[in-house]
Structure 1
Amino acid sequence: MISFVVRLRSRAHFVVTSGRTGKSGAFIGINAHRRSQARQRLGIIITALLAVYLVIGVRLVQYGLAGPAVTGSFGGGAPTAASRPDIVDRNGKLLATDLNMVSLYADPRRIVDADEVVEKLADVIPNLDWSETHKKLRSGTAFQWLRRQLTPRQQADILALGIPGIGFRPEKRRFYPGGVTASHIVGHVNVDNQGLAGMERYLDQQGLADLRLAGLTGTAPLEPVRLSIDLRVQSIVREVVANAMIAYRAEAAGAVILDVETGEVLAMASVPDYDPNQPSRTLPDGSVDREYEKGWFNRMSNATFEMGSTFKSFTLAMGLDEGKITLNSVVDASRPIRMGGFTIKDFRGKNRPLSIPEVFQYSSNIGTAAVADRVGIEGHQQFLTKLGLLSRMETEMPGVATPTQPRTWKKINSVTISFGHGVATTPLQTAVAAASLINGGNLIAPTFLPRSLEEAKSVSRAIIKETTSADMRYLFTWNGIKGSGRGAQVEGFNVGGKTGTADKVINGRYARNINFNAFVAAFPMDKPKYIVLSIIDAPTTGEHGGRTAASTAAPMIKQIIRRTAPLLGVQPRFGAPEAQQLLVNY
C-alpha cells in the first residue's frame, strides 16, 4: 500500500498535505513537467531545421548536376519555336520548309562589362550595331535579343568566347529553295516564323496562327501543304516575264497560266519581285532598301489595270449571248463616233462596215461600241458583273485588289468600257473571265490549291451558252491566225487570243505615249485546256521597235507556250489545214 501511494505521488502535479500541519497544499513536479515540454519543443525545432537544410542540400545537388538552363531568362513575350508545314508544288517539289536555327539572347543583369561583350561579339557577328547592342546590355532587363537566327559556325565561335550572361534559344527559320521563282505565290514569313504574304499568310489565316498561340504546333513536323502550281512551269513563266521587262525596258511585267477546266493556277509571276529568303534588304548606310521592297507588290492579283482591247472579247461574247449579234452580223465602222465631247475612232481603222470576226481581228473600237449599244447600259453592267469583273475575286491568295468602275454608268461609260477603258480589273480575274468564254461558258473561281474536275463542277457557274462559247473559240482562233494574235502563234499548238493595248492612266489622265499592254490566249483551240495571260507595263520598245501588245505581250505568250506546253502534257499537232480550223458558217 505504501509503495502504491509513493508511485501516485511521484506522478501527481501536486498533493494535499495533512491538515494537522496547517498547510493548504504544495505544487510538486512542475519543474519536471516544464523540462519535459522544453525538450519536446527543442526536438521539433531541430527536426524542422534539419528538414529545411536537407531540402536545400538536395536542390543544390540537383542544380549542380543539371545542364545550363538557356531558357531561364526568357521574358513572357518571347515567341516559341513552332513548326510550319512544308509547302510543295503539285508534283511534290519543295517550295518552303523549316530549318533549325539558334538565336542569341542576353540577360543584362548578369553582364559584368558591356563594352567587353560588344567587342567580343563584333568579332563573330558581322554588321553588329555596337551602340544598339551596348544599350541592350546596359538596360538592366531580364531578357534582350542580340541577334536572331545565327549560323552553327557563329554559335560555336560565341560559345568559345565563354561570355557569362548570354545564351542561345532554338528557333525555326523558313527557307525557300526556289528563291524568287514563286515568291508572290508562296509569300514569306517574319523573323518569328509568322506568315506575312502569299500562301504563307493564307496558312496562318486558316488557323495555324491560333494553334501557334495556343502552343499546339510545337516542333513536330506537320503534313505538307500542296499547291496547284507546277514548279517547272512556274520557273519558265518567271524567266520569260523577267527577260521581257529587261528587253522591252518596261516598268513591270507578269503572266499567269490557268487550267480552264478546274480553275487551278499552274503558274503566276510578277516582276519586279523579291527573294523570300531575304524579304528586306539593308543598304550600306544601314537604311532599308525601299526599292527592293517594291518587289513585294504582286501586280497579277493585287493591282488593277484598264485591260484595253482584251475587254472586246467580253463585249462580243455579251452581244452573242444576248442574241443581239451573230458571227454573220455586220456593224458600221465607217466613221468615228462623237459622244459627250469625245471622239471614238479606230487605230488603223478600215473605214467600212465590218463583220463580227473582222471587228475582233482589226480590234475595232467603233464596231465594239456598236455591239455594246445594242445590248444597252444596264445589260452591259449586268453581264460584266456576272463574269466577276466588277467585284472582288474570291481565292486563297491574300491581298486581292477590288476592281474599279464608274459610280453611275452612262452611255459614254458603256461605250468606252466596251473596249477596255473606264473599268480597271486585276489581270488574274481577267484571265478567269476569259477562261469562262472558251471552256463551255462556266465561271470557275481560281485556286492555288489542287482541285479535281468533280470539285470544279461543284463550284462552277454557267454564265453564257455553250453556243456562245463555241463562237468565242472561233473568234480566238481567227484572231490567232489572221489578226494581232499571230505574234503568239506556236506551230503545232493552235494558239488563239486577243491583244490589249491601253493608254496608261497617270495622275487621272491618259498618257498617249505610255502603254499598258496585255494578251490573253488559249491553247489548243480545238479543245482548249489552258488560258495564258501576259501583261507588260510601260514598255519603251518591243519586237521590231513596236510598243503595242502585238509587239510585246504577244511574244511573251509565244515563249511561254512554246516552252511549257510539253510540260503541261499538250501534244503538238502539225499539218492541220487552216480551213479546217476555221470551218464555220461565215
Structure 2
Amino acid sequence: MAVLASTEPEEPQVASAIDAPILSTRADIVDREGRILATNLATHALYAQPRQMVDPARAARELAAIFPDLEEAELLRDFTGPRKFLWIRRQISPEQVQAVHDIGEPGLLFGPREMRLYPNGPVAAHILGGAGYGREGVDSAEVIGTAGVERHFDARLRDPERQAEPLALSLDLTIQAAMEEVLQGGMTLMNAKGAAGILMDVHTGEILAMASLPDFDPNTRPPAATSGDPGDSPLFNRAIQGVYELGSVFKIFTVAQALDLGLLNPETMIDTQGPMTWGRFRINDFHYYGAENTVTDVIVKSSNIGTAHIALMIGPARQRAFLQGLGLLEPTHVEMTEARTGRPLLPAQWSEISLLTISYGHGVSTSPLHLAAAYAAIGNGGTAVTPSLVHEENREPGPRVLSEQSARQSVDMLRQVVSRGTASLADVPGYEVAGKTGTADKPRATGGYYDDKVIATFAGVFPASDPQYVIVVSLDEPVETSGTEPRRTAGWTAVPVAAELVRRAAPLLGLRPAVEVAAADGVTEPAN
C-alpha cells in the first residue's frame, strides 16, 4: 500500500491529449467597497484507479453511503470493468475527504481543486452568473465562467498576471441585498410571478444594484430549462433579458423631445378629447380627463390621447432618432453575456400608428435596464449613459441627447406625477422622488392581449431637485388584493415597492433627507 500511495496517478486521456497547460487560478470579484462577491476555495476531486483497488465491492458500498446520489451497483460495474480511470466527484467537502480516506482503499485518490465560491449565496446571482470546470487533470482543473460577469470577464479573471487583482464591480453589496429583500416582499404582497429592480447612478450609468426574481444560488446553479416558457426559469434575467411593452413610463420621452424641439412648453394646452380615431384604430384614456389639458397634466394624469397628439407634432422619423439616441432601440452594452439577448422588439415599419402607440409605451418592447438608462439621461441634464457593472473613476460623459432646460422641465413634471398624480404612493418624505407609472397588458402568444395580466412598472429619479440616482421597479402579473376589487395598475403595485426601496437605499447611499424646520414666525421652511 505504501508503494501504491507513492506512485504517480495516471492522467485521464482527455487531459493528456492537450498540450496547453491547465490554468486553475481565478481572480476574486468584489463590490465597489471591496467586499467579496466571488472567490476561490481549496478543495479536492475524487477519482478512482480500479486496477489498484483491493476490495471494489466494499469501496462501492461505502461510497454510496457517503454520496447518496451514487448507485452502488453502477460503481461496482465501473470498478470491476475494463476502465483504468474514472472520475467519481469533481469536488468534495473536507468532511467527505475524511470519510473517503477512512475507507482505506488505495484505488480511491484525491486531486487538488479550486472551486468557485459565492459567499453571499443568491445575492447578485444573475449578475455574477456562475462558474464551472473546463479542462481537467488529476492535479488541476480550469475554472471557467458560465454566465454573467463571470463569463464576460473570463479571460481577465483567468489571467495569471492579474490573479491577485480583484475585479471591482459597480455594485454595492448592501444595497443589492436590500433591493432583493424588498423585491421579494413586494412580489409576495402583490402576488406577482416575477420582479426586476435597478438602481443606477444617473451621471455615470454605473449600476449599484440590479435584481431579477425568482433567482438562484450560483453555488448550486440549476440546469437550463428544456421545456416551458424560458422566461419563467430562475436563470432568466428579467432586468436585461426580459423585453416588455412598458406602457406609460415612455410618455415622458415624447414630452421631453417635444420640449426640446420647441414645439410646446409645460403650459401648452393639448387636446385630450376622446376617443382619438386613427384609421381603424381607436385610442382611449383610462379615465376621461376633459377636452384639454396642459402638457404637464398630460403627464401627471397619464393621458394616452394627449401624448399621441404631441407625438403627431414630432413625426415618426424624429421620434425614432430620439429613442435611438436614448439607447432604447438596440441591446444594452452592459458587461454581461446575456445582454445581447435583450434585443428590443420594434415595429417592422415605423408608421404613423406606430408613432402614436410608441409615444405611450406600446408597439415597442424594451428591458427595464433600457428604461433605467433612458431615465438617467433625463435625470442627469440630458446626456446619454451606457449602463455599466464596472466601477470606474472619472468616467467620460455620453453625448448630449436633450437640452438641460428640457431635461429639467421633464424632471419637474415627473415630480408632479409623484406629488399629485398616479405615483403618489412613491412620495417618500425627504427624498423628492420623481417618476412615472406604466401599466401594460401582457401580450398573448397567440395574438392580442390578456385582460387580467399586466407588466406594472415605476421608473424615476431622486432627489428631484438634484437627481443622483435612477430607480426602476417592474412586477410581472401583480394583483393587489387589499381592497374590495383586485388592482393591477402600477400605482397600486410597483409604486409602493419602489417607495420602500428608496426608503431602504437612500440612507445607505449617504443621502440626507430634506427635513422641514420651523421658522421663527411659525411658518415652516425647508432646511438647507
Q: Which TM-score applies when normalising by structure 2?
A: 0.89
State the AA in 2 paired with 1:194: I
What is the rounded CA distance, in whole Å, between the counterparts of 1:550 and 1:407 in structure 2? 32
Where relative contact order (Cα < 8 A, 6+ residues apart) is larger, the structure is: 2
Q: Which residue of 2 aligns with 1:360?
A: 299
Q: Which residue of 1 aligns with 2:169?
A: 227
Offset at residue 109 of structure 1 (A): 3.5
Deviations along 1:233-287, one digit per CA (max 9) or x if unpaired, are 11110011111111111110111000001111000111000011111289xxxx9
Specify whether residues 331 and 531 from structure 1 end up closer, same or farther in structure 2 by C-alpha distance, changes over 3 A only.
Answer: same
Answer yes or no: is 1:511 the counterpart of 2:450: yes
Q: Which residue of 2 aligns with 1:497?
A: 435
Paired positions, count? 504
8 Å CA contact 2:231–2:242 kept in 1: the answer is no
Q: Which residue of 2 aligns with 1:470?
A: 408
Answer yes or no: is 1:327 the counterpart of 2:269: no
Answer yes or no: is 1:558 the counterpart of 2:507: no
What is the rounded CA distance, in whole Å, between the counterparts of 1:194 and 1:137 in structure 2? 30
Q: Which residue of 2 aligns with 1:456?
A: 396
Offset at residue 291 of structure 1 (A): 9.9
What is the rounded CA distance, in whole Å, between the counterparts of 1:292 and 1:506 in structure 2? 14
Specify whether residues 464 and 69 from structure 1 end up closer, same or farther in structure 2 by C-alpha distance, changes over 3 A only.
Answer: farther
Offset at residue 122 of structure 1 (A): 1.6
Specify whether residues 440 and 151 from structure 1 end up closer, same or farther in structure 2 by C-alpha distance, changes over 3 A only.
Answer: same
**Paired residues for 1:97-108 under 5 Å:** 97-108=39-50
Offset at residue 166 of structure 1 (A): 2.1
Offset at residue 186 of structure 1 (A): 1.4
State the AA in 1 paired with 2:474: I
- The CA RMSD measured in Å over matched residues stands at 2.8
Q: Which residue of 2 aligns with 1:536?
A: 475
1:123 pairs with 40, 65, 68, which one? 65
SS at match of 1:462: coil
What is the rounded CA distance, in whole Å, between the counterparts of 1:158 and 1:522 in structure 2? 57
Specify whether residues 406 and 247 from structure 1 end up closer, same or farther in structure 2 by C-alpha distance, changes over 3 A only.
Answer: same
What is the rounded CA distance, in whole Å, between the counterparts of 1:363 and 1:456 in structure 2? 35
2:488 pairs with 547, 555, 558, which one? 547
In structure 1, runs of 5+ residues without a counterpart are: 1-62, 582-586
**Paired residues for 1:1-20 under 5 Å:** none
What is the rounded CA distance, in whole Å, between the counterparts of 2:317 and 2:517 in structure 1? 43
SS at match of 2:370: helix
Specify whether residues 233 and 69 from structure 1 end up closer, same or farther in structure 2 by C-alpha distance, changes over 3 A only.
Answer: farther
What is the rounded CA distance, in whole Å, between the counterparts of 2:205 and 2:428 in structure 1? 23
Deviations along 1:204-254, one digit per CA (max 9) or x if unpaired, are 1x4445x5xxxx57xx95321111111111111001111111111111011
8 Å CA contact 2:382–2:407 kept in 1: the answer is yes
What is the rounded CA distance, in whole Å, between the counterparts of 2:81 and 2:279 in structure 1? 69
Offset at residue 69 of structure 1 (A): 4.2
SS at match of 1:399: helix
Deviations along 1:376-420, one digit per CA (max 9) or x if unpaired, are 111111111111101111121221111010111111111111111
State the AA in 2 paired with 1:390: L
8 Å CA contact 1:280–1:289 kept in 2: the answer is no
State the AA in 2 paired with 1:442: T
**Paired residues for 1:74-113 under 5 Å:** 74-77=12-15, 80=22, 82-111=24-53
Specify whether residues 461 and 161 from structure 1 end up closer, same or farther in structure 2 by C-alpha distance, changes over 3 A only.
Answer: same
Specify whether residues 140 and 478 from structure 1 end up closer, same or farther in structure 2 by C-alpha distance, changes over 3 A only.
Answer: same
Offset at residue 289 of structure 1 (A): 13
Offset at residue 158 of structure 1 (A): 1.4
State the AA in 1 paired with 2:122: V
Q: Which residue of 2 aligns with 1:39?
A: none
What is the rounded CA distance, in whole Å, between the counterparts of 1:576 and 1:523 in structure 2? 21
8 Å CA contact 1:543–1:552 kept in 2: the answer is no
Deviations along 1:308-353, one digit per CA (max 9) or x if unpaired, are 0000011111111122221121111112111232210100121320
8 Å CA contact 2:257–2:322 kept in 1: the answer is yes
8 Å CA contact 2:435–2:459 kept in 1: the answer is yes
Specify whether residues 66 and 147 from structure 1 end up closer, same or farther in structure 2 by C-alpha distance, changes over 3 A only.
Answer: closer
8 Å CA contact 1:543–1:551 kept in 2: the answer is no
SS at match of 1:444: coil
Q: Which residue of 2 aligns with 1:32?
A: none
SS at match of 1:115: helix
What is the rounded CA distance, in whole Å, between the counterparts of 2:266 and 2:76 in structure 1? 77
Offset at residue 160 of structure 1 (A): 2.1
Of all paired residues, the percent bearing the same amino acid is 35
8 Å CA contact 2:346–2:364 kept in 1: the answer is yes
Offset at residue 288 of structure 1 (A): 12
8 Å CA contact 1:255–1:268 kept in 2: the answer is yes
SS at match of 1:270: strand
1:435 pairs with 376, 387, 394, which one? 376
What is the rounded CA distance, in whole Å, between the counterparts of 1:382 and 1:115 in structure 2? 72
Offset at residue 132 of structure 1 (A): 3.9
State the AA in 2 paired with 1:437: I
1:254 pairs with 181, 185, 196, which one? 196
State the AA in 2 paired with 1:185: I
Offset at residue 542 of structure 1 (A): 5.4
Answer yes or no: is 1:425 the counterpart of 2:366: yes
Answer yes or no: is 1:199 the counterpart of 2:149: yes
Offset at residue 292 of structure 1 (A): 12
Q: Which residue of 2 aligns with 1:445?
A: 386
What is the rounded CA distance, in whole Å, between the counterparts of 2:30 and 2:489 in structure 1? 37
SS at match of 1:97: strand
Offset at residue 67 of structure 1 (A): 6.2
What is the rounded CA distance, in whole Å, between the counterparts of 2:245 and 2:149 in structure 1? 27
What is the rounded CA distance, in whole Å, between the counterparts of 1:357 and 1:70 in structure 2? 78
Deviations along 1:74-93, one digit per CA (max 9) or x if unpaired, are 43438947121111111111
State the AA in 1 paired with 2:428: V
Q: Which residue of 1 aligns with 2:187?
A: 245
Select the structure that is richer in helix: 1
8 Å CA contact 2:59–2:103 kept in 1: the answer is no
8 Å CA contact 2:42–2:113 kept in 1: the answer is yes
8 Å CA contact 1:280–1:288 kept in 2: the answer is no
Q: Which TM-score applies when normalising by structure 1?
A: 0.81
What is the rounded CA distance, in whole Å, between the counterparts of 1:336 and 1:579 in structure 2? 45
What is the rounded CA distance, in whole Å, between the counterparts of 1:65 and 1:115 in structure 2? 22
8 Å CA contact 1:542–1:552 kept in 2: the answer is no
8 Å CA contact 2:157–2:167 kept in 1: the answer is no
What is the rounded CA distance, in whole Å, between the counterparts of 1:67 and 1:223 in structure 2? 37
SS at match of 2:132: coil
What is the rounded CA distance, in whole Å, between the counterparts of 1:244 and 1:356 in structure 2? 32
Select the structure that is richer in strand: 2
8 Å CA contact 1:101–1:151 kept in 2: the answer is yes
8 Å CA contact 2:230–2:236 kept in 1: the answer is no
**Paired residues for 1:266-277 under 5 Å:** 266-277=208-219
What is the rounded CA distance, in whole Å, between the counterparts of 1:359 and 1:290 in structure 2? 37
Q: Which of the pair has more CA radius of gyration?
A: 1
State the AA in 2 paired with 1:318: Q
What is the rounded CA distance, in whole Å, between the counterparts of 1:333 and 1:372 in structure 2? 13
Specify whether residues 161 and 367 from structure 1 end up closer, same or farther in structure 2 by C-alpha distance, changes over 3 A only.
Answer: same
